[in-house]
Amino acid sequence: MKEKTFHITTFGCQMNEHDSEVMAGMLLEKGFTPVKERKDADVAIINTCSVRDNADKRFFGTLGQLKHRKKDDPNFLVCVCGCMMQQQHVIDTIKARYPWVDIIFGTHNIHQFPELIDNALNEKKKQVEIWPDGGEIVEGLPAKRLFESKALVNIMFGCNNFCTYCIVPYTRGRERSRKPSEILREVRELVADGVKEIMLLGQNVNSYKGADGVDFAALIYMLNEIEGLERIRFMTSHPKDLSDKLIQAFVDCDKLCKNIHLPVQSGSSRILKAMNRHYDKEQYLALVEKLKTAVPGITMSTDIIVGFPGETEEDFAETLDLVSKARYDSAFTFLYSIRKGTPAEKYEDQIPEEVKHERFNRLVELMNGISAEKNAAYVGTVQQVLVEGPSKTGSKTFAGRTDGFKLVNFRSETDMTGKLVDVKITKSNTFSLEGEIL
């Protein structure tokens, strides 16, 4: 039989990115070959995100593009998976409007993907496998990393927080933590395979509960002992669960990068309450101060939602005020997007789109000014950079990240991909730094 080729399109967060790495790993084990362009693939996989409406729309747009290809070539296999598949209304739409989709599977069924492909090829009939919630964590699945030197490592799955705007607890199920022994085994294997940096993933890593009472901070201390591992990062951290022990880990663990993603969502205590976030503006700012005092030079990023139902101009002014006090290095800013089945869907006072956009623009302008100022302070310093590969900014330029997760484009005569190098920062931009290798 001719070797089959595959292409994966990934929408959404790093969890999804990692799920795609696992699917790629499983297909490689089956002898399939990856291709760069979807049009050249025998098997097309679309890994979906449902966190905001625009990701939904892009999914259906992408799926629509595949219709003709499928018509011309009935052997072309179309697989859809990820968060959107955990919503019944999406499944109903796919079945009604895109009946030619071959395989549909949910976020808890990734381990079954090879079997579903075999069944689809042998039985020539649609395969649908969606569990409403996660069972036992399936260990030992292969993964094909996007980068040689850095890896995404899941430490837990699901979320129990039910922020009122968020679909994730419904699409990823309840919190389940991997055993520390499994995480350590995986990281040791990755390091033996050339990995220098790991990114620990979980919707809320701070509520990690490993076997034998190992909490998140304890896990960091254990990982910090792994020889050959150079950098540890994690995301995402819910402010309500960030422990003093974790702050101490930043001080004690040399491999833990001095960078934290700490989503605030809003600066208004009233809105935070309506969002079910379990902290107020003052508590959040006190936590930021505590981190900055204990870990000098720590860089910080956040997520902010603009236009949550009921957000007044005063509430939004609180967000601007919080941002100018927290002085983040960067922020991911989002327009509130109604999600079916979440409590906030039913809230009155949904904010008109034009008001959301106008506030959004003001927030981005403020944030960009802060980012640019923060980056300017790095000019003249020497930063250790883990090189990710050639940069898009020019020939003999490479891109990598500092310990604080700043993107650096730098000139180098030799390709140092995968290595930790010292770079002298010569210029700063809003979203990146530039420099010369030393």
Return residues touching ligand 5AD (CB under 6 A): 51-52, 165-166, 263, 265, 303, 305, 334, 336-337, 339
261 is an interface residue for ligand SF4 by CB under 6 A: no
Least Cβ distance, residue 204 to ligand SF4 (angstroms): 5
**Which x/- pattern, by CB under 6 A, does the window 139-168 give for ligand SF4?**
--------------------x-xxx--x-x
- Residue 79 labelled as part of a binding site: no
The nearer residue to ligand 5AD, 231 or 277, going by C-beta atoms, is 277
Please state, in angstroms and rounded to a whole number, the distance separating the CA atoms of residues 98 and 93: 7
176 phi, psi to nearest 5 deg = -135, 130
Return d(Cα 41, Cα 32) in angstroms, integer. Answer: 10
In the complex with ligand SF4, which residue's Cβ is closer, 52 or 231? 52
Q: Measured from the CB of residue 152, what is the shortest distance to ligand SF4 in angstroms? A: 17
Residue 371 or 409: the one with the smaller Cβ distance to ligand 5AD is: 371
Q: Is 238 among the residues that bind ligand SF4 (CB under 6 A)?
A: yes
C-beta closer to ligand SF4: residue 203 or 409? 203
Residue 65, both tokens:
């593009």
Residue 203 contacts ligand SF4 per CB under 6 A = yes
**Do you find a cis peptide bond into 236, omega within 30 degrees of 0?**
yes
- Give the nearer residue to ligand 5AD in terms of CB position, either 231 or 261: 261
For residue 242, give both structure tokens.
């960030």
Q: How far is the CB of 260 from ligand SF4 (least distance, A)?
A: 15
Closest to 152 measured CA to CA, from 236, 214, 73? 236
**Of 87 and 149, which CB lies nearer to ligand 5AD in the complex structure?**
87
Does 87 bind ligand SF4 (CB under 6 A)? Our answer is: no
Structure tokens at 117: 């492909």
81 marked ligand binding residue = no
- The answer to whether residue 206 forms part of the interface with ligand SF4 (CB under 6 A) is no
What is the CB neighbour count within 10 angstroms for residue 14? Answer: 15
216-224 and 180-192 helices, crossing angle to 10°: 30
159 interface partner picked from ligand SF4, ligand 5AD, none, CB below 5 to 8 A per type = ligand SF4
Report the C-alpha dihedral over residues 336, 342, 345, 347, rounded to 10 degrees. -100
What is the smallest separation between the CB atom of 83 and ligand 5AD, expressed in angstroms? 11
Is 166 annotated in a binding site? The answer is yes
> Cα 267–286–51 angle (5° rounding)?
40
Are the beta carbons of 382 and 438 closer than 8 angstroms?
yes
The region, left, alpha or beta by phi > 0 then psi within -120 to 50, assigned to residue 162 is left
**Containing H/E element for 315?**
helix 313-326
**H and E: helices and strands count for the chain:** 12, 19
Q: What's the min distance (Å) between Cβ of 261 and ligand 5AD?
A: 9
Whether residue 159 is annotated as binding a ligand: the answer is yes
Annotated binding site: 13, 49, 83, 159, 163, 166
Which residue ranges make up the site for ligand SF4 (CB under 6 A)?
159, 161-163, 166, 168-169, 203-204, 238
